[in-house]
Structures are given as C-alpha cells and as structure tokens.
Amino acid sequence: MTATDISHRKKFFALGNVYLPHIVVIEKIIEETPGVRTFHFNFKDKKLGKEFSFESGQFGQYSVFGIGEAPFCISSSPTRRDHLEFTAQRVGRVTNALHRLGAGAELGFRGPYGNSFPLDFLKSKNLVFVGGGIGLAPLRSLIWNVIDNRNKYKKIDIIYGARSPADLCFKYDLDAWGKDKTVNMVTTVDKGDDTWKGKVGVVPKILEEVAPSAREAVAIVCGPPIMIRFTFPVLEKLGFTPKQMLTTLEKRMKCGIGKCGRCNIGNIYVCRDGPVFSYAQIKNFVSSEY
C-alpha cells in the first residue's frame, strides 16, 4: 500500500481551502425514529449546488457553527439531485445541536470525501443489502442509485432490521422497496409488538434464513459494529468470499481528509481510504480495532 490516490474521486474544491465549509440550508426534516432525523438540504449558493457532485458511499463533514463538525454519509442518491440528504442520530454534541435546528437553518458542509461503492464491480451482479438501524443510511443512497439504473444489476435482496418496529428508519423507503416487484425486501425486528407482522429476529439470523445465493453476488453490509461482526460469518457460511462482502465503516473523524489521524485502523484511514471497504481489506482488524 502506498499513499492514497484520490485523483479519480469526486471532489469539490469551490473554496480552494479544503477546510472551509460551504453554507447549506436545511429544507426539510424527517423524524425517522425518536432520536433519528433525516435532513434534506441544498447549497445556499445555487450555482455551487449545480456544480457539486458525489457518489453513493461518500460522506460530508457537517458544521453546526459554534458547536462543531461531524461526519455523516450523504444518504440520498446521486440519481436524485433535487436536494441532498443526511441522517443523524442524536447521540453527541453536534447531533444534539442538529436536532434542535429547524427547516431554514444553515449548516456548514465540506465534502464529498472518501471513496464510494464500486459501481463497476457491482454491475451485472446480484446484490444483497444487509442493514441494521441507522446503518441503512449509506446503503439507501446505493439502493436508490441501483433501482434508478435497474437494468444494470440482477437480483436485489434487502435484509433490514432494527431493535423494534419504532426503531425502523426510512419506513417510506421500506414501503417503496416492498412494493417494487424487482426487489426482495425483508424487514425484521429484534422484538416485535402487537401490530408487527414482519419477521422477528436479529439481522444475521434472518440473513441466514433468507440465505441469498453467493453466486455472482455481492453483499453490502452496514449497521452497528456488533451486527457487522455477526453478519460476516453468516455470509461466509453462505459462500460469500471476503471480496464479495462490502461494508462502510464509521469512526470519530475531524478532518475527513486523512490528516488529523484519529480514524485509522492499521495503516488505513477510514476517511481517506474508505469509508467503503471489502471484508478482504479489513478482516484482520475487525476483531481487534473495530
């Protein structure tokens, strides 16, 4: 491995200085679950907004001015550019501040950063999406991207779960994918309630039940680390090789561009070399550093 080549990546340097955020405006806020919100936003400078481009899997650094910055993936699809979206759970200083904001509020945005899902590699393959909780956010950018270019891909399985029915994010997407006859949508919860009619069980267990074939398939996994750790062995059992498993990782980040140092796992910087990795790239670190 040598220094990372980012020449082929989508980048946006409208302001010259890579640390300067662009001003973006929140247009709409969707309450996904208590504590998880999706923010629709656009560049304040419409011209910059038109110049901006990104790929599924890339992330941004979002500023609540005076509080700080935090990284979130762009959870909308580049095929749907009416606005951009990100989804944040209220857990820390920046996300608590974000959750106090309403439509019309201004944020800072730097990005897009990081690599993206390898569309060329996914082309003409069966795709198995495995998501948990808010981990659906980066997958959903790719899922809509793939659905909007449906003929380029083969079978699509989506296995998505959350702790309870109330914790399911993107219910409107789950409905839409459920109705899409070209998609096999399986929703599960760890613990159901009186009205829950879907599956009950943790994601890795349901994945084992659904048992998608590994033939010409790629699995794309994102969720809490514990789910990721238990999902890879199931996929291996189903015949997926480490190269056929992709995931996108999350770490504490400050700079987003491979300088500030805190997101590395081994010699990999999650912000610079990821956030999208194949299991082959990270399997040696999963047990010890993730």
Partner 1 sequence: MANKKVNKKDIAKLLNQWRQQFTVLAPSKENGVAQMAEWDGKDTSFLDWYRNTVIPPKASFLPPMEEMFRFQKDKEGYHIELPPTNEHKQLIFGIRPCDARAMTILDMTFEEAYQDPYYLSRRKNAVLVGLGCTNPCESCFCTSMGVSPTESTNVDLMLTDIGDQFLIEVVTDKGKELIAKASGLKEATKDDEAKAKETKETSYNKITRKLDTEGIVDKLQASFDDEGFWEQTAAKCISCGICTLLCPTCYCFDINDELVRGEGTRFRSWDSCGFPVYTKMPMENPRLEKWRRVRQKVCHKFEFYPMTFNVIACTGCGRCIRLCPVNWDITQVLESVPVKTGVRK
Q: Can you give the binding site for partner 1, defined by CB under 8 A?
A: 1-6, 16-21, 23, 25, 44, 63, 65-69, 91-92, 95, 106, 108, 224-225, 250-252, 254-255, 257-267, 272, 284, 287-290
d(CA 239, CA 213): 8
The residue count for the chain: 290
Q: Smallest gap, in angstroms, from Cβ of residue 104 to partner 1?
A: 10
Identify which of residues 177 and 232 has a Cβ nearer to partner 1 in the complex.
232
d(CA 289, CA 284): 9
Q: Smallest gap, in angstroms, from Cβ of residue 212 to partner 1?
A: 28
Q: Smallest gap, in angstroms, from Cβ of residue 261 to partner 1?
A: 3
- Is the Cβ–Cβ distance between 246 and 278 less than 8 Å? yes
Q: What are the tokens at 90? A: 């209220």
- Is the Cβ–Cβ distance between 76 and 27 less than 8 Å? no
Q: Smallest gap, in angstroms, from Cβ of residue 156 to partner 1?
A: 29
- Is the Cβ–Cβ distance between 108 and 22 less than 8 Å? yes
Identify which of residues 49 and 108 has a Cβ nearer to partner 1 in the complex.
108
d(CA 41, CA 105): 10
- Is the Cβ–Cβ distance between 157 and 267 less than 8 Å? no
Q: Smallest gap, in angstroms, from Cβ of residue 111 to partner 1?
A: 11
Identify which of residues 212 and 258 has a Cβ nearer to partner 1 in the complex.
258
Q: What are the tokens at 275? A: 């956030």
- Is the Cβ–Cβ distance between 276 and 115 less than 8 Å? yes
Q: Smallest gap, in angstroms, from Cβ of residue 168 to partner 1?
A: 19
Identify which of residues 19 and 172 has a Cβ nearer to partner 1 in the complex.
19
Identify which of residues 5 and 120 has a Cβ nearer to partner 1 in the complex.
5
Identify which of residues 184 and 264 has a Cβ nearer to partner 1 in the complex.
264
Q: Can you say whether residue 35 is alpha, beta or left, with left for phi > 0 and alpha for psi between -120 and 50 degrees?
A: left
